[in-house]
Amino acid sequence: MNKKKMSRKARENLIGYSFIGIWIIGFLAFMLVPLLTSLVYSLSEVSITGTGIVVTFHGFKNYKNIFQIEEGFVFTESLVNFVFKELIFQLPIIIVFSVLIAILLNQKIKGRGFFRTVFFLPVIIASGPVIKELISQGAGGTNIFETYGFISVIENTLNPALAEPIIKIFSEIIIIFWFSGVQILIFLAGLQKIDKQVYEAAKVDGAGAWQAFWKITLPALSNLVFINAIYTIVLLATFSENKVIVNIKNNMFNFRTGYGMASAMAWIYSLTVLLLIGLVGLIARIGSRRSRRSF
């Protein structure tokens, strides 16, 4: 086709795709095809022979097995623990903590840069093995809270089913805070965008700091709460010490389960995570509608 004859639109299409083409190839090769393949694996028996990998379709057997064999029980237990004993506590802790720190850092204080450096530091160092090492050496918060008898107070006052996850959280509380580095900075950037005049106007109208926080600051941050909640879920769900994903990896190389069942587990896990993110999205939508109404 002659270059002059080609319409402006076709030309722009061509140029646009020349920039993002590499992503499309990568997406197909490293994402879409593997996604579909793992769906097939999860419905098949995958065995490794001398000549290569043999995939025989056998329906939902892998999924059924998750509720029938030992490895499956271990997996479901780790998944339930992750969602109901870790994520459900850690997510709100991280969000509240990062809003709090962002608000403190947003005040007119000297040494803001220093404190910002401190609160972002864990992002630089928090890898799975490092955190595992720190927790196992008692640096995760156990030392501090044990010294003040905090843990025994919880043990004695709450019923064991509730006390167990709470104690676990306190023994790792610093590490949980460590997951907030990026979120703090995102909230801080959001706070700096709020027009100072809005606060002044509210003050003139007689609003206290408390009211200003609920009526101005929080609604302005509501979008970022949603973004940070998603970021946090993804962070926790892909953290390399996460028991569920460690479990999936181990089952890949377990001859009783193999790639097939590991894929089934991976799909159940992925759908759970996506469901959680969807749930957060739903809550965020309802929340933002309500806060807009109260304005």
Partner 1 sequence: MFEKLKSNLKKKRVNLKIKTLLFGNNVREGVVIKIIIYLLLSAIGFIYLYPVLYMLSNSFKSPSDIVNPMVNWIPTALYFGNYQRAFRVLNYFSTLGKSLLVTLVPAFFQTAVTSVIGYGFARFNFKFKKPLFVIVLLTFIIPPQAYLIPRYVMFFELNLLEKPWAIILPALFGQGLNSAIFILIFYQFFRMIPRSLTEAAEIDGAGPYYIFFRIAVPLSAPAYITSFLFSLVWYWNETYISSLFLGTRFPNLQIALANFVSQYQQMYQSDAVKLNEGIRLSATLLIILPMLFVYFALQRWFVEGIERTGITGE
Q: Of 16 and 162, which CB lies nearer to partner 1 in the complex structure?
A: 16
- Position among 87, 102, 229, 262 found at the interface with partner 1 (CB under 8 A): 262
What is the Cα–Cα distance from 272 to 225, expressed in whole angstroms? 21
72 or 141, CB closer to partner 1? 141
Q: Are 66 and 268 in contact (CB under 8 A)?
A: yes
Applying CB under 8 A, which of residues 6, 35, 282, 283 lies at the interface with partner 1?
Answer: 35
Q: Using CB under 8 A, pick the residue from 6, 13, 73, 283 that binds partner 1.
A: 13
Q: Which stretch binds partner 1 (CB under 8 A): 13-21, 60-68, 80-88, 147-155?
A: 13-21
Number of residues that bind partner 1 (CB under 8 A): 96
Q: Which range binds partner 1 by CB under 8 A, 56-64, 65-73, 80-88, 140-148?
A: 140-148
Nearer to partner 1, 141 or 167 (CB): 141
CB under 8 A: which stretch of 65-73, 80-88, 108-116, 287-295 binds partner 1? Answer: 108-116
Q: State the number of CA atoms in the 13 A half-sphere of 88 facing the CB.
A: 10
| Local structure of residue 1 (DSSP, 8 states) | -
Q: How far is the CB of 164 from partner 1 (least distance, A)?
A: 23
283 binds partner 1 (CB under 8 A): no
Q: Is the dihedral of CA 123, 276, 227, 201 positive or negative?
A: negative
Least Å from the CB of residue 67 to partner 1: 19
Written as six digits, the tokens of 102 are 């962002």
Q: Is the Cα dihedral 170, 174, 180, 184 positive or negative?
A: positive
Give the DSSP letter of residue 217.
Answer: I
CB 256 within 8 A of CB 71: yes
Q: For the segment 40-59, give every residue that binds partner 1 (CB under 8 A).
A: 41, 52-53
* By CB under 8 A, residue 207 contacts partner 1: no
Q: Which stretch of DSSP H or E encloses residue 53? A: strand 53-57
241 — phi, psi (to 5°)?
-95, 0
Backbone angles phi, psi at 287, to 5 degrees: -60, -45
What residues from 219 to 258 belong to the interface with partner 1 (CB under 8 A)?
A: 223-224, 227, 230, 234, 237-238, 240, 245, 248-249, 252
Asked if residues 251 and 262 have their Cβ atoms less than 8 Å apart, the reply is yes
Per CB under 8 A, the segment of 76-84, 139-147, 150-158, 212-220 that binds partner 1 is 139-147
